[in-house]
């Protein structure tokens, strides 16, 4: 049985790379979208992450990165393109959810990376350890 994949954006930065390492350490399958192939993205690949090169401002790149994904952790720097990248990611995530059976689109309580309960929409969450509840 294949494991559900989690997409992490901003994975070559401090927050994203820590998230990738934590997910991999907990036994999750991780895909990252990186803007460039460089030593940071190659390091993530060496750790066990699947690396997709793409641009979060390109809807088709984000669609491809989200293909087959069951959860996502969206990280983007505070910049003038934050709103655009967020809208593109949300659109691609919505499309991916409609094309993936049994992926909930309703708001729900999920685990925050620090295990506090927060309300979220669609698929943005950091899953707990496999087989572990976040309560």
If DSSP states are collapsed to H, E and C, what string results for 19-80?
A: HHHHHHHCCCEEEEEECCCCHHHHHHHHHCCEEEECCCCCHHHHHHHHCCEEEEECCCCCCC
Structural domain boundaries enclosing 23: 5-120
What is the total count of domains within the chain?
1
Backbone angles phi, psi at 35, to 5 degrees: -70, -35
Task: Let me know if residue 72 belongs to a domain.
Answer: yes
Name, in order, each residue with C-beta under 8 angstroms of 33's C-beta and a sequence gap of 6 or more. 7, 8, 9, 11, 52, 53, 54, 56, 61, 62, 65
Q: What distance lies between CA 135 and its chain's CA centroid?
A: 22
Task: Let me know if residue 66 belongs to a domain.
Answer: yes
Could you tell me the CATH number of the domain that includes residue 98?
Answer: 3.40.50.720
Task: Let me know if residue 112 belongs to a domain.
Answer: yes
pLDDT band at 109 (very low <50, low <70, confident <90, very high): very low
Task: Let me know if residue 53 belongs to a domain.
Answer: yes
Calculate the average pLDDT of the chain.
80
Q: How far apart are CA 28 and CA 122, in angstroms?
A: 19
pLDDT band at 66 (very low <50, low <70, confident <90, very high): very high
Q: How far apart are CA 32 and CA 106, in angstroms?
A: 25
Task: Let me know if residue 129 belongs to a domain.
Answer: no
| pLDDT at res. 67 | 93
Kindly report each contact of residues 41-46 with a partner whose C-beta sits within 8 Å and lies 24 or more positions away, as own/partner.
Answer: 41/11, 41/12, 44/11, 44/12, 44/17, 44/20
Among residues 59, 89, 95, 65, the alpha carbon closest in space to that of 76 is found at 89
Q: What is the mean pLDDT of residues 107-125?
A: 38
Task: Let me know if residue 125 belongs to a domain.
Answer: no
**What is the bridge-based pairing of β-strands 117-120 and 108-111?**
antiparallel
Task: Let me know if residue 133 belongs to a domain.
Answer: no
Segment 2-57, tens digit of pLDDT: 568 999 999 999 999 999 999 999 999 999 999 999 999 999 999 999 999 999 99
Q: What is the mean pLDDT of residues 110-130?
A: 40
pLDDT band at 101 (very low <50, low <70, confident <90, very high): low
Tell the residue number behind the tokens 């803007």, with chain if given. 35
Task: Let me know if residue 46 belongs to a domain.
Answer: yes
């Amino acid at each position: 049985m294949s494991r559900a994949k989690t997409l992490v954006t901003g994975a070559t930065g401090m927050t994203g790379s820590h998230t990738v390492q934590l997910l991999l350490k907990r036994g999750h399958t991780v895909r990252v979208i990186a803007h460039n192939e460089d030593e940071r993205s190659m390091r993530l690949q060496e750790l066990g992450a699947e690396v997709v090169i793409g641009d979060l401002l390109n809807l088709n790149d984000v669609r491809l990165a989200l293909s087959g994904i069951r959860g996502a952790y969206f990280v983007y720097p505070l910049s003038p393109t934050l709103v655009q990248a967020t809208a593109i990611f949300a659109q691609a995530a919505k499309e991916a959810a409609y094309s993936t059976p049994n992926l909930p689109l309703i708001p729900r309580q999920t685990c925050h990376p620090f295990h506090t309960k927060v309300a979220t929409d669609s698929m943005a969450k950091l899953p707990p350890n496999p087989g572990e509840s976040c309560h």
